[in-house]
Every structure is written in structure tokens, then in C-alpha cells.
């Protein structure tokens, strides 16, 4: 049990490494004070461009995959332990101890977890995310729709994972991602959400 706690703590601490915040600092920017204030790769891209955002985003993805693939097998006696490690990493990213429990929205780290647990569902969800972003320009909308699609894609494409527990985890993770985007949803409804690569027009009046 102590080993399991140690690996969960390792998952949290890895997830909590604020890659986008650190990259922003490297570029002379505090992401908490620019753009949306979110410590994620999209806000980093708007502030400093691809050269900073891509490495930070890939690191965030790795933060979700490594705990599942490397830490999860270390406690084989605990059911679904890789899943718990992945979820703990996502929570670490969103509630990072290194930046006063203020992190990103968890999309990239959750994507890493999905890559490790549901590799067939991930390309489908990624394609839908990319299509929505391409058609609308809204990264937030793509992330919300991809999150809502994931439980169904996982259920259909991974029969071995079909269980009440896995479905509950998928639905909970999707709901959490949508909840983290609640401010984006309000801006989408108001027509003031930023499109990818450019700012939204000012609201009427």
C-alpha cells in the first residue's frame, strides 16, 4: 500500500509540473497575467508562438501517459491502478502545487492518459477535435466536443475495457474537462471567445 501511495504521489507531482508556465517564464511572460490567464499550451501559443507551445504541449501529454504506462504497473495488486495514476496526473496538472494549485484545463494531460489507456479511441477523438477547431477556430469547443465523444468512442472501440468502472471514469473525466471549460462556454454563448490565432471581436455595445 505504501508503494501505491508513493506512485500516486509521483503521478501527481509529474502532472503538477507547470510546463507552459515555465516555458512562458523562459520567454519572459507570466501566463497568469496575459491572454486568458490559463496555464496551458493554447494560451502559451497566443503569447509566444509555436516554438514554446509545442514542446510544452507535448510535455503535458507525456505527463498523462507516463504515469499510466510506467507507474501503473508498479502496484499490480490494486485494481485499475494505472487508471488511478492517470487521473492523479490530470489532477496534478489542473491543481498544481507548484503554482498555488492553479494549472491548466487538463486537456493535454488527459489526452496522454487516453493515448495510454485507449489507443484506438484517441485518433478518433483527435480527428474530431482537429475538425472542429479547423471549422470554427475555437480550441475550447473542439476540446469540449472531443471530451464528450470520448466515452462512446472508448466503449465502441475497446471491448476489453467495457465495465461500469471504466464507463464511470470516462464520463467523469469528460464531465471534468467540460466543467473546466465553463468560462469558455459562457464566452462561446456570448460570442466573445477567442478564435485560434486571433482575438474575438468586441461584443456589441
56-101 pLDDT, tens digit each? 999 999 999 999 999 999 988 899 999 999 999 999 999 999 999 9
Q: Please give the backbone phi and psi of residue 67, each rounded to the nearest 5 degrees, phi first.
A: -60, -40
CA atoms within 13 A on the CB side of 86: 27
Mean pLDDT calculated for residue range 186-200: 80
Which residue matches cell numbers 472508448? Answer: 154
Long-range contacts of the stretch 126-133 (C-beta < 8 A, 24+): 133/196
Which residue matches cell numbers 487521473? Answer: 87
18-34 tens-digit pLDDT: 999 999 999 999 999 98
pLDDT confidence of residue 200: 43
Is pLDDT of 180 > 60? yes
How far apart CA 79 and CA 62 sit, in angstroms, is 23
Plot region of 197 (φ>0 → left; ψ -120 to 50 → alpha; else → beta): left
Which residue matches cell numbers 474537462? Answer: 177
Amino acid at each position: 500500500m505504501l508503494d501505491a501511495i508513493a506512485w500516486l504521489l509521483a503521478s501527481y507531482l509529474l502532472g503538477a509540473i507547470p510546463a507552459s508556465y515555465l516555458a512562458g517564464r523562459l520567454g519572459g511572460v507570466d501566463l497568469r497575467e496575459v491572454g486568458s490567464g490559463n496555464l496551458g499550451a493554447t494560451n502559451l501559443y497566443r503569447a509566444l508562438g509555436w516554438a514554446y507551445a509545442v514542446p510544452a504541449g507535448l510535455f503535458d501529454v507525456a505527463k498523462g501517459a507516463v504515469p499510466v504506462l510506467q507507474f501503473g504497473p508498479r502496484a499490480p495488486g490494486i485494481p485499475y491502478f494505472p487508471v488511478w495514476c492517470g487521473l492523479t496526473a490530470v489532477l496534478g496538472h489542473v491543481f498544481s502545487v507548484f503554482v498555488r494549485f492553479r494549472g491548466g484545463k487538463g486537456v493535454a494531460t488527459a489526452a496522454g492518459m487516453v493515448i495510454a489507456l485507449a489507443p484506438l479511441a484517441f485518433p478518433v477523438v483527435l480527428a474530431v477535435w482537429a475538425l472542429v477547431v479547423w471549422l470554427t477556430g475555437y480550441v475550447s469547443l473542439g476540446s469540449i466536443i472531443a471530451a464528450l465523444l470520448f466515452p462512446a468512442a472508448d466503449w465502441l472501440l475497446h471491448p476489453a475495457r467495457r465495465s461500469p468502472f471504466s464507463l464511470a471514469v470516462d464520463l467523469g473525466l469528460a464531465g471534468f474537462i467540460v466543467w473546466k471549460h465553463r468560462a469558455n462556454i459562457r464566452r462561446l454563448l456570448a460570442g466573445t471567445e477567442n478564435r485560434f490565432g486571433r482575438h474575438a471581436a468586441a461584443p456589441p455595445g
